[in-house]
Amino acid sequence: MTSAQSHDDGPFTGRDPGGILAPRLRVFEAVARTEHITRAAEELGLPQPTVSRALARIQRELGLALIERTGRGVRLTRAGRTLLPYVRRALKELAAGGAQLTDPDTGTVTLAFLPTLGAEVVPSLIRAFRADHPQVRFSLRQEVWGSAVRSLREGGVDLALTSPVPTERGLSVRVLHTQPLVLVVPAGHPLARAEETPISAVGTDQLIALNRGRGIRHLTDGLFHRAGLEPRIAFETDEVGTVRGLVAAGLGVAVLAARPHSPLPGTVELRITDPGAERSIGVVWHPYEGEPATVASFRAFVLAEGERLVAGGLA
Amino acid sequence: MTSAQSHDDGPFTGRDPGGILAPRLRVFEAVARTEHITRAAEELGLPQPTVSRALARIQRELGLALIERTGRGVRLTRAGRTLLPYVRRALKELAAGGAQLTDPDTGTVTLAFLPTLGAEVVPSLIRAFRADHPQVRFSLRQEVWGSAVRSLREGGVDLALTSPVPTERGLSVRVLHTQPLVLVVPAGHPLARAEETPISAVGTDQLIALNRGRGIRHLTDGLFHRAGLEPRIAFETDEVGTVRGLVAAGLGVAVLAARPHSPLPGTVELRITDPGAERSIGVVWHPYEGEPATVASFRAFVLAEGERLVAGGLA
DNA sequence: CTGAGGTCATACAGAACAGTATGCGTCTGT
DNA sequence: ACAGACGCATACTGTTCTGTATGACCTCAG
């Protein structure tokens, strides 16, 4: 690995991170390795006096002699020899950290996604992406709507597949798929023969809802609010399966996205006719200057392929 | 651990090595940890604008945004959050390296010593020293005279217990013990009844010698040379025990240091009367500015206690 | 032993950086 | 809603550092 690099400053991100984050370490390492100030300077792309002085400064500040002159060359002192492996390991860490950020093939992508998407959509996305980028690692976090948005804002995740797509300013979004919201009623319910219904038809039925923080709950609350209704919530739970079970048991009705393939036996799903009674699933990210290459690469892939995969996975 | 430190420059060695070797890393770490530029600056003992600009510079050079403004504070971006653990590990390495050099209790001392001293003297020295400094680690190298001196010059070892003490300029020495050289002859040898002898008495006897590079061989060669004689070397070996065995077997005579306690059965030892027929065992080191505290501490101990221990161990 | 070549350190001019003061945007309490 | 406080960024001046040229010292060959 020749690390000779000229010191141009373009806005490209591929430069040596150790040299930027810790220039003194790199100087010391080069001198220690070559035991030759002039050669080290050439390798670093710096004039020889700069290296000479930089080293003198380090030693003065540390109060330790790391190299010493020997004839017409230099040699590491014992102290320098002792320090060298630590410096090497430190530079190695920085190089690894830099690779995470700049190398589109070795980074890690942290992805938050809806519980619903964990079974099929996310595995398909990742499998397809890794076919081209096998070194990229993923940190996957199944998170509900509220916490996914918070994680995005706080920098906890790179990308979120969530629903509904948040409207906060500062977050970029792209809708990949839209599902109609349905009213889930037990088989014997008065509305069970209809195909669609306004939310107002719920009347005095008890509502079985997901806990706050879930996207569907957020949408449900908005739906009732816009209709001027106050939902009468009998149960709150975290599991969509539980909700359907409670509805089947005749304990109330629920607002959900249509169940893939068909409704749970013992339940009927009616499309809700109110405007905006839909659930948009989208990808959300927090845009900023100079984002890791890996993240940009994966996001581009999601934007290109996600629509198809999400629609297929939720069919 | 409060790391607030003023930026005085004294010649003392106890300063934070991470901050000296990699100031940018420390700035980034402090800002990342506090997510607050002003507080990070206070902690680092720097003015706030300095930290602000240093960070801006790092980001510009990396081409990556590591922090971003959020309201009236700052927050790490994903890239910053990704980089942080690497930077932390790098700083940890540097701190460990610095501790090796500046903390008299955690360093490592590399000690070269004569094979003769490995059985008793070196273990006693180290046991006694570690009673007061239990954290200090030792790297022990059994080396003969020639290579010990070379290691010292090249920075391979901190300290050498060797013999004879070298006279090279650039190396500091202190004699700890002096043993007379003896001529070892087989029991039936014409000289076996004498107590002492000049080296010239060897006459035409074959000599059994240690290999070149051994201190005793160096002394033996010198002894013959000063007497104007050419040694007639029949065997060369690396083991003092082998030399004595060959002498006992009547295959020649040898110049050695007196055997502890008593001569090997079947051999007789006669003190050599030539001037300078002695072997000085001493401690040797390569002095330089700003040596690791641990090394200085151990050497001081050796200088204080070594004379007694070496004399005792070779009695 | 002397001269030529090689290597690191120092001198001086110019660029980059640090320190002080201040501006601009944001949050909080009344 | 508005005043005050808070917090990061920028402007200006003095110091430090970088880069070019040169000096001092060592090594090696003849």
- DSSP conformation letters of B145-212: HHHHHHHHHHTS-SEEEESSPP--TT-EEEEEEEEEEEEEEETTSTTTT-SEE-GGGGTT--EEEEPT
- Higher-confidence residue: B12 or B41? B41
Query: Is the confidence at residue B9, as pLDDT, over 70?
Result: no
Query: Is the confidence at residue B13, as pLDDT, over 60?
Result: no
Minimum-distance nucleotide, CA of B37 to C1': D8
pLDDT digits (tens, 9 = 90+) for B50-102: 999 999 999 988 888 899 888 788 888 888 888 888 998 899 889 888 888 87
Q: How confident is the model at residue A315 (pLDDT cuts 50, 70, 90)?
A: low
Domain boundaries A105-315, CATH class? alpha beta
- Radius of gyration (C-alpha) of chain B in whole angstroms: 29
Contact A218/A145 with Cβ under 8 angstroms? Answer: yes
Given the DSSP bridges, would you call strands A73-76 and A67-70 parallel, antiparallel or unpaired?
antiparallel
Q: What rounded mean pLDDT belongs to chain A?
A: 85
Q: What are residue A254's DSSP bridge partners?
A: A184
Contact A21/B22 with Cβ under 8 angstroms? Answer: yes
Mean pLDDT of A166-183: 87
Amino acid B15: pLDDT = 59
- Domains B17-102 and B104-315 alike in fold: no
Beta strands in chain A (DSSP E): 67-70, 73-76, 108-113, 137-142, 159-162, 172-186, 196-197, 207-210, 233-237, 254-257, 267-272, 278-285
Mean pLDDT of A237-261: 89
d(CA B242, CA B208): 9
Amino acid A299: pLDDT = 93
Q: How confident is the model at residue B290 (pLDDT cuts 50, 70, 90)?
A: low
**Binding residues for strand D (Cβ < 7 Å):** A 7, 46-50, 53-54, 57, 71-72; B 36-39, 48-49, 52-53, 55-56, 69, 72-74
Structural domain spans, chain B = 17-102, 104-315
| Three-class secondary structure of residue A174 per DSSP | strand
Q: What rounded mean pLDDT belongs to chain B?
A: 85
pLDDT digits (tens, 9 = 90+) for B163-211: 888 877 778 889 998 989 999 999 988 998 989 999 998 888 889 988 8
- Chain A, nearest residue to B294 by Cα: A79
Amino acid B283: pLDDT = 92
Q: Would you put residue A145 in left (φ > 0), alpha (ψ -120 to 50) or beta?
A: alpha
Share of chain B above pLDDT 90, in %: 27
Query: Is the confidence at residue A44, as pLDDT, over 70?
Result: yes
- Higher-confidence residue: B168 or B256? B256
Contact B288/A77 with Cβ under 8 angstroms? Answer: yes
Q: How confident is the model at residue B271 (pLDDT cuts 50, 70, 90)?
A: very high
Pick A81's closest partner by Cβ from B20, B82, B155. Answer: B155
Q: How confident is the model at residue B315 (pLDDT cuts 50, 70, 90)?
A: low
Distance A210 CA to D5 C1' (A): 42
Contact B27/B100 with Cβ under 8 angstroms? Answer: no
* Chain B environment of A110 (Cβ under 8 Å): 78
pLDDT digits (tens, 9 = 90+) for B89-134: 899 889 888 888 877 788 888 899 888 788 788 888 889 999 999 8
CATH topology of domain B17-102: Arc Repressor Mutant, subunit A (1.10.10)
Question: Which residues between 167 and 206 in chain B have a beta carbon less than 8 angstroms from any beta carbon of chain A?
Answer: none
* Chain B environment of A20 (Cβ under 8 Å): 24, 58, 61-62
For B104-315, CATH number?
Answer: 3.40.190.290
Q: How confident is the model at residue A298 (pLDDT cuts 50, 70, 90)?
A: very high
Query: Is the confidence at residue A95, as pLDDT, over 80?
Result: yes
Amino acid B108: pLDDT = 84
